[in-house]
Structure 1
Amino acid sequence: MTSITSLSGKASLLALCLAATTPLVLSDTAVATEQAGAELAEKKLKIKLAVGRFSNETRYGRSLLRDQDLDPLGKQASDILTSMLTETSRFLVFERPDIEKIEREQSRSEGAVIGVDTLILGSIVEFGRSTDGKRGLFNRKKTQKARATVTIRLVDVKTGLVFHSATGSGESSTTTKTVLGVGSTAEHDATLNDQAISAAISAVINELVGKLQDRTWKTDILQVAGDQVYISGGERQGLKVGDTLTVVKAGQVIKSKQTGFDITLPATPVAKVQVIQLFGDSEMNEGAVTRIVSGEIADGRPEDLYVTEE
């Protein structure tokens, strides 16, 4: 009995030693998840995006009875991208399926409808399906494949400049087999379309999210009254009571004689404000009340000032 107890004690001691000396090895997936979480924690405020309808540049699914806005492949692609961006919980995503020109979005940002920072446009540039079959003496095999290629563009709403473009491809397939007439059979599998488009968008979604997160969060000033500054944007964009923000004066816009493009000079910080209250119950009307903690801002609604992250 004593020897058994001794062996058991030694085994326990050995296990403790191994546990203490064995290094913790993290998988690539775990490391990537941890890094993504750290990036998300670093950038907490969400910018507003609008996803327009994808155009279908292929012949698949096109019909004389459908215009571009009713194209099923384009609708599938925009719906899938909207869903993926929303699932990241890093952006406020709005659908604008009727956008055909950037000027429409520019006019929206000056009116009552929500103005966004970035407009996302896309095109399905390649789509195809194929069916391969093999028949033996006692068996039959059928494989259906779908392949898609999409191009996605990120457009600055204020300037109309395409600041990033990405192209992704993906495919999906399904196989059915029968032996002596027994087994699964399949007709045309329409779900392969969604899966191929989803795979194509998934190939570039991380790249797009990275570029979008590089954008500076900013919002406008609604009103200044004494030491209180009312701004648009609230809880749904990640603002909390106690957050400190920077009020900056927009740089002067000068047209370059060399390129003909308008160039905005660097902005100048003029004040610091702290969030003291949030109001509004939707993305359409949410805002925040802030108090000036340093600097000065004249009463009224300044047109050349905006608020950004500290």
Structure 2
Amino acid sequence: MRRIGIAAGAAALLLQACATVSEKPAPAESPVPKAAQLSAQEARQAPAAKRYKMKLAIARFSNETNYGRSLLNDADLDRIGKQASDMLASRLIMSGNFVVLERPDLQKLEREQQLSGGKLVGADTVITGSVTEFGRSVGGKSGFLSSTKVQLAHAKVDVRLVDVKTGHAYFSAIGAGEASTESGEIAGFGSHSEYDATLNDRAIAAAISDVIDRLAATLADRPWRTDILEVQGAQLFITGGKHQGLREGDTLAVMEAGSTVKSKQSGFEVTLPPKQVATLRVVSLFGDSETNEGAACQVVSGRVEPAALAKLFVTEPKS
């Protein structure tokens, strides 16, 4: 009798479970369009881009390895070094965050600095570098009926950032990369791998990719600044225009560089902090390229002395 009661209770529970049907919740459409949601999410995740673009000059990279060099090769025919500088320039240009002014080689940069009194016209930072390691190797395995062949290329680049005005190298980084290709055959069937020249390009590109993020982050942290071309009463003209991100109505600050004094403790020269002497408003822009553009500005507060132009520069106002 007890068994019959237990069985009846179990059957009742089973019928109750079968009778309970869970209803699926009806999908509700969000009042905000999906495209707007994705756009807002990307805006929160993306870092804020700098308004004003720094001008960079890229010197020709040197090849410090023995690969691809001989007594018959001229320095201007250094293909490995040229590849590295061209790839770096392309990455910086594609980022859209910098104005890149290419220079053919470091010797011409130094000559230009001498002609301009130690200041490279048009650039804030010079990027120099060298390919310090480059090589190729071939390996693989062979058996009774099968064999494999692996070609490997590796590269290492050393990149430096040099402040044009001071000549100080304020950043240095090393990037390394490699590329490989593999082929194999079994019982005479399969692929035969010849010399793959594209491995050189891919290894150098990987080395540049390894260092480009650190390079761009360091450059982004540098404050934007430009020089004053001429002062005409309450109006003055500065270098930089639409290619650097300037717009009509922008507010800029005129700063006077601090004096340079020698530290008695370390013996090194120390430059004191600059001070703001005037505030400008961009009135109009002129020029049609990165090399000849400028902006006409109106002095809205303070005073700009033409006799002190050598110590003055223009930058973004502190927020």
| Structure 2 length-normalised TM | 0.81
For the residue of structure 2 that corresponds to 1:283, the secondary structure is coil
The separation in 2 between residues aligned to 1:239 and 1:59, in whole angstroms, is 46
CA displacement at 1:195 relative to structure 2 = 0.8
**Residue in 1 aligned with 2:169?**
162
CA displacement at 1:102 relative to structure 2 = 6.5
Work out whether 1:228 is the aligned partner of 2:229. Answer: no
Work out whether 1:83 is the aligned partner of 2:90. Answer: yes
Q: Do the aligned partners of 1:108 and 1:115 also contact (CA within 8 Å) in 2? A: no
**Residue in 2 aligned with 1:146?**
153
**Residue in 2 aligned with 1:38?**
47
Give 5+ residue unaligned stretches, structure 2. Answer: 1-20, 32-38
**Residue in 1 aligned with 2:7?**
none
Work out whether 1:14 is the aligned partner of 2:25. Answer: yes
CA displacement at 1:140 relative to structure 2 = 3.2
Change (3 A) 1:115 1:269: same
CA displacement at 1:110 relative to structure 2 = 4.9
The separation in 2 between residues aligned to 1:280 and 1:81, in whole angstroms, is 27
Change (3 A) 1:78 1:35: farther
The separation in 2 between residues aligned to 1:111 and 1:161, in whole angstroms, is 12
For the residue of structure 2 that corresponds to 1:242, the secondary structure is coil
Change (3 A) 1:11 1:261: farther
The separation in 2 between residues aligned to 1:282 and 1:244, in whole angstroms, is 22
For the residue of structure 1 that corresponds to 2:147, the secondary structure is strand
**Residue in 2 aligned with 1:26?**
none
**One-letter code aligned to 2:48:** E
- Percent identical among aligned pairs is 52
CA displacement at 1:103 relative to structure 2 = 3.8
The separation in 1 between residues aligned to 2:236 and 2:23, in whole angstroms, is 65
Q: Between Structure 1 and Structure 2, whose CA radius of gyration is higher? A: 2
| Structure 1 length-normalised TM | 0.83
Change (3 A) 1:300 1:259: closer
Q: Do the aligned partners of 1:141 and 1:176 also contact (CA within 8 Å) in 2? A: yes
Larger CA deviation: 133-142 vs 203-212: 133-142
Work out whether 1:255 is the aligned partner of 2:262. Answer: yes
**Residue in 1 aligned with 2:249?**
242
CA displacement at 1:120 relative to structure 2 = 1.0
For the residue of structure 2 that corresponds to 1:116, the secondary structure is coil
Which structure 2 residues correspond to residues 288-299 of structure 1 after superposition, within 5 A?
288-298=295-305
Give 5+ residue unaligned stretches, structure 1. Answer: 1-9, 21-29
CA displacement at 1:115 relative to structure 2 = 3.0
The separation in 1 between residues aligned to 2:53 and 2:23, in whole angstroms, is 51
The separation in 1 between residues aligned to 2:291 and 2:308, in whole angstroms, is 19
**Residue in 1 aligned with 2:183?**
176
CA displacement at 1:295 relative to structure 2 = 1.2
CA displacement at 1:108 relative to structure 2 = 5.7
What is the count of residue pairs matched by the alignment?
291
Which structure 2 residues correspond to residues 29-108 of structure 1 after superposition, within 5 A?
37-40=46-49, 43-100=50-107, 103-107=110-114
